[in-house]
Amino acid sequence: MVCVDFGSTFTKASLVDLAEGRIVAAASHPTTIGTDVLDGFAACRDELARQDPRAADAAVLACSSAGGGLRVAVLGNEELVTAEAGRRVALSSGGKVVAVHALSSPRVPDNGLEAVLGHTAPDVVLLTGGTDGGNAESLVAGARALVDAGWTGPVVVAGSVDAHDEVAEVLADLPHVIAPNVVPRIGVLAPDGARAAIREIFLAHVIGGKHLSASDDFRRMVRGATPDVVLAGVELLAYGLDEEHPGAGDVAVVDVGGATTDVHSVVALDPEDAGLSREVVAVTPVTRTVEGDLGMRWSALSTVEAAGLTELAAVASRLREQPGHLPADDAEADVDEQIARAAVGLALRRHAGRARVVVSPEGRVVERTGKDLREIDLLVGSGGVLRNGRPGVTARVLADSLGEDVEGGWQLPRSPRVVVDVEYALCAIGLLAQDHPDAAHRLAQRLATAE
């Protein structure tokens, strides 16, 4: 099986031996946005076939973040509940959240939604609002606001079940999918139904709508947005298939890119600990965060500014203007590692957050601002700076983000096993998970036990 990721910059392809669960050939080529994305894939396939002739006739599975990936605008009723829940669901679905708009916010002008949609150009709107059995009118109001704002694109509706019929009538002339409520009741976040609906919309409307290829072959081979597929790979890595095919346990992945640094985590929630926690929108086992200001090239300057590395501002500014630049000597590699260390440290802290114990009228309560990563079993590093860096680069980049003595109450990993996804296997694992689970599990085991 050929597994392909049509990335925003590079198209990456792997040939997987399904019987052995092993990557036997790999290739990459700049993504050919200017012509047809299948041109770059053809170059990758030729290189795979040069390494292993079986690639010429192998079936293909693909994911894509080309052409800007999946751009999602979230429309909710309240900033602290449904809009925030929608933002988390959109991220876990592999979307880039380009806007979060709360209808009840006093800061939003009457024409605010039309302006937001026009400025951010989302591919899909995720509409949330109301709990089941609660306020159904907020979801209907959101649907009417979309129509009044002139939105004609696809909509995923994931709000109060009591409003579904009326919302369907309001959105009758728009492509839309009705999904289960992401907040069926306060304190509960149920993302799975909306994740599946966003994936359906992405495949049915977004892939073809971006006009990345004149051939229907592209649409047939793509199974989802790249971040969604990678997160599926992380889930299989963590959970395994069953008792005979176990997973690695609690897992976090930090992926350092040129423009963003993504963190994926799959962490079993402690029921006792959860009972002591206080959060408006519940934490879920599967979480993804995207830090759009942290990266190695396009976001290099904002990364060093956020980390207080003022001495690197000039070189970071040059890197932003030369996103394809690779280190030419040890001095430039040192700079890359400093930027990576800043990006990884900040991204992991934002994902993990802090924990503190407070005494409230309800008694002792743990207040959290993120996902507790302290007891994870496996930490996977990804991204070119880690895959292709000098010996020891991973340890240096992670130096401030691991161990028992991290200051500040950050819920960072204490003593995980650390591996680097050198083969870019997580993408292939996610692509294979549904139709070839045994091969995907073998690939996941190879990654979890890599040296």
Is it the case that residue 276 has pLDDT exceeding 50? no
For residue 59, pLDDT over 80 is answered with yes
Same domain membership, residue 272 and residue 166 = no
Question: What domain count does the chain have?
Answer: 3
Question: What pLDDT sits at residue 135?
Answer: 82
pLDDT of residue 278: 47
Question: How many angstroms separate the CA atoms of 12 and 321, rounded?
Answer: 24
With 0-12 CB in 10 A as exposed, 13-18 as middle and 19+ as buried, what is 34?
exposed
In terms of domains, do 44 and 117 share one? Answer: no
Q: Quick one: average pLDDT of 76-104?
A: 83
Q: pLDDT value at position 247? A: 97
Tell me the CATH number at 193: 3.40.50.261
Higher pLDDT, 259 or 14: 14
Q: Are 440 and 336 contained in the same domain?
A: no
pLDDT of residue 275: 46
Query: What are the φ and ψ backbone dihedral angles of 102, each rounded to 5 degrees?
Result: -105, 120
Average pLDDT (34-43) is: 95
Which region among 203-212, 301-310, 338-347, 377-386 has the lowest average model confidence (pLDDT)? 203-212
CB distance 292 to 304 below 8 Å: no
Structure tokens at 341: 């260390």
- pLDDT at position 277: 47
Instruction: Give the length of the chain.
Output: 451
Q: Residue 318 corresponds to which tokens in the numbers above? A: 């040059």
Residues 231 and 260 in one domain: no
CATH number at residue 236: 3.30.420
Average pLDDT over residues 98-122: 80
Predicted confidence (pLDDT) at residue 414 exceeds the cutoff of 70: yes
Q: What's the predicted TM-score (pTM) here?
A: 0.84
Q: Among the three residues 179, 207, 235, which one is the final residue of a domain in this structure?
A: 207
Q: What 3-state DSSP class applies to 67?
A: helix
What is the rounded average pLDDT for all residues in the chain?
A: 89
Residue 284: pLDDT over 70: yes
User: Is the same domain home to 318 and 214?
Assistant: no
Reduce the DSSP state of residue 75 to 3 states and report it: strand
In three-state form (DSSP H/G/I as H, E/B as E, the rest C), the secondary structure along 380-420 is EEECHHHHCCCCCHHHHHCCCCCCCCCCCCECCCCCCEEEE
**Spatial distance between the Cα atoms of 340 and 362, rounded to a whole number of angstroms:** 42
Joined together, the tokens standing for residue 216 give 């229907």
Residues 441, 340 within the same domain: no
Residue-wise pLDDT for 217-248, tens only, equals 999 999 998 889 999 999 999 999 999 999 99
Q: Are residues 134 and 263 in the same domain?
A: no
* Cα-based torsion angle of the residue sequence 341, 422, 379, 279 in order, rounded to the nearest 10 degrees: 80
Task: Give the pLDDT confidence score for residue 368 in this predicted structure.
Answer: 67
pLDDT tens by residue, 117-136: 999 999 999 999 988 988 88
Task: Judge whether residue 346 has pLDDT over 60.
Answer: yes
Determine the Cα–Cα distance for residues 287 and 148; give it in Å rounded to an integer: 33
- pLDDT reported for residue 79: 77
Give me the mean pLDDT over the 275-288 stretch.
65
Say what percent of the chain tops pLDDT 70.
Answer: 92
Q: What is the mean pLDDT of residues 19-26?
A: 97
User: Do 446 and 22 form a contact (C-beta atoms < 8 A)?
Assistant: yes
Percent of the chain with pLDDT over 90: 65
Domain that holds residue 12: 2-67+210-243+426-448
Report the pLDDT averaged over residues 152-163. 95
**Judgement on whether residues 288 and 330 belong to the same structural domain of the protein:** yes
Confidence of residue 324 (pLDDT cuts 50, 70, 90): confident
The number of beta carbons lying within 10 Å of the beta carbon of residue 293 is 16
Residues 400, 253 share a domain: yes
Both 279 and 402 in a single domain?
Answer: yes
- Beta-carbon contacts of 449 under 8 Å, excluding residues fewer than 6 positions away, are none
- Compute the 3-state secondary structure of the chain and give helix, strand, coil in percent, each to the nearest 5: 40, 25, 35
At a CB cut-off of 8 Å and minimum separation 6, what does 175 contact?
153, 154, 155, 201, 204, 205
Q: Are 370 and 305 in the same domain?
A: yes
3-state secondary structure of 213: coil
Strand partners, 64: 6, 225
- Distance CA(244)–CA(251), nearest Å, equals 19
Q: Are 272 and 292 in contact (CB under 8 A)?
A: no
Question: Residue 279 pLDDT > 80, yes or no?
Answer: no
Average pLDDT over residues 55-69: 91
The alpha carbon of residue 392 and the mean position of all alpha carbons in its chain are separated, in whole angstroms, by 27
Residue 185, pLDDT > 90, answer no
Instruction: Looking at the structure, tell me whether residues 384 and 327 fall in a common domain.
Output: yes
**Pick from 446, 415, 414, 61: nearest CA to 217:** 61
Domain termination site, one of 207, 235, 269: 207
